[in-house]
Amino acid sequence: MPRLHRNNPDPTLTKPKISRIEFNWYRRARLGTRDGLSLGRRGHTHRNHFSPRGTGPHADDEAPPPPRAPFSLLSFSLYLRNPQPHSLSSSGGTAGAMAEEDAPEVELSGEQKKEIAKWFLLHSPGGEIQYVAKDVRSVLDDDGAYGEAASEAFPAYNKAQMICLDMPRGMGEVLITSFGELEENQFLDPRTAQVGIVDHVKQVCTDVRPATDEELPSPYIEEFRCALDAEVLKYVGEAYPKGVCSVYSTKGKDVEGPGSDFELAVVIQAARNSPQNFCTGSWRSVWNIEFKDDIQILELRGKMQVGAHYFEEGNVQLDTKHECKDSTIFQSPEDCAISIASIICHHETEYLGSLEASYTNLPDNTFKDLRRKLPVTRTLFPWHNTLQFSLTRDISKELGIEK
């Protein structure tokens, strides 16, 4: 088991002495006093995400939920050693700190360890859960608790991240989403009419079988689904170099002809993971399309999610979401598909453009707003004319060596 900290070389978790440095790190991680900054070492168990008090795996238990700040292996191991809440003195002096250091250590139950490990796994950055799982398993040092946590966390994580797995024998790819889930570990690929059998923890598709007639939509619905799938596939191929997509029938898949409403769902996923370069990123979008036959209208609801993680000599994450709505008229399957693909392209391009614009303006706008409006000189900083501040000119004036 690896060392947890340079001041704590003992790799076991059996009542080691917590140093002052470890205690300060633990307190800051628990109280979340450095919002937005990583408190741990460079690695994969950090997350720039905060869980509000009263939420998490132990919201109703006696043990508190995991700390609100980003985690490292150090803070995780310290939390496992002593999960009881501490209280600082109102003055913030050393008396409260000493009370924390002298607090008795409490052994966690297997269920509590499982819930904490599960929380870490579920909050892993996209494409990094295997790294987090390796670290959590080594720190937890309880294969039973880890196995239970992994069996519950991995399926939820895989569906949330909408990971794409290759099916055996070159049968194609299958997206792991709730729309295509038939059973606990079986997922439908509508394009090939195949069902992939998945090992969630290993994140591999172990076997494949043909889908039954009951698992597939009716010929009438399949005509709309197939036309839309072709248009979305064309769009994704142009917009996302490593993107994958699928179109599912979510409601009314047994409708045999005009006169009834039904619903399709478009799922788009693109990921670029480069852990060797300390960065990962993903795009996920889900579009629900309601075909309302009675009023001849299609209503679209879109949800886009962008995630990025950069952790070279630090820990910076982006986790943003955007939702939108639109509509178009009910037409033939081919015309509906073209209209829907055009709407999806418009909204996703617009959202990506807004993100690009916001980060382009980051140095000129956001960073300026982080400054105090008036510095100690009580005058605004002249951003429009920074050349007036010349160190060389000021020194020359002070030394009386102006030309």
Residue 273 neighbours by CB distance under 10 Å: 16
pLDDT tens digits for 345-388? 999 999 999 998 888 877 777 766 766 555 666 677 666 666 66
Instruction: Give the pLDDT confidence score for residue 372 in this predicted structure.
Output: 59
Q: Is residue 287 within 8 Å of residue 255, measured between CB atoms?
A: no
Q: Residue 228's CB: how many other CB atoms inside 10 A?
A: 24
Q: How far is Cα 80 from Cα 107, in angstroms, rounded to an integer?
A: 8
Q: What are phi and psi of 265, to 5 degrees?
A: -130, 130
Pull the structure tokens for residue 154. Answer: 């991995």
Q: What angle do CA 190, 192, 196 make, to 5 degrees?
A: 80
pLDDT on residue 169: 86
C-beta of residue 22 within 8 angstroms of C-beta of residue 74: yes
**What is d(CA 64, CA 53) in angstroms, rounded to the nearest whole number?**
9
338 to 252, 303, 305, 328, 341: CA distances (angstroms): 22, 20, 23, 11, 5
In this structure, what token pair is assigned to residue 76?
A: 């995780």
pLDDT tens by residue, 193-239: 999 999 999 999 999 999 999 999 999 999 999 999 999 999 999 99
What is the reported pLDDT for 381? 67
Structural domains of the chain sorted by starting position, each given as residue range(s) with its CATH number in brackets: 20-159 (no CATH), 162-213 (3.30.1140.60), 217-362 (3.90.1150.210)
The sign of the torsion formed by the CA atoms of 291, 294, 297, 303 equals negative
10-residue block means of pLDDT along the chain (403 residues)?
Answer: 42 42 44 36 38 39 39 51 42 46 70 91 93 92 90 96 93 94 93 96 95 94 97 95 94 92 97 90 96 95 95 88 96 96 97 89 71 64 65 68 59
Residue 288 pairs in a beta bridge with 265, 301
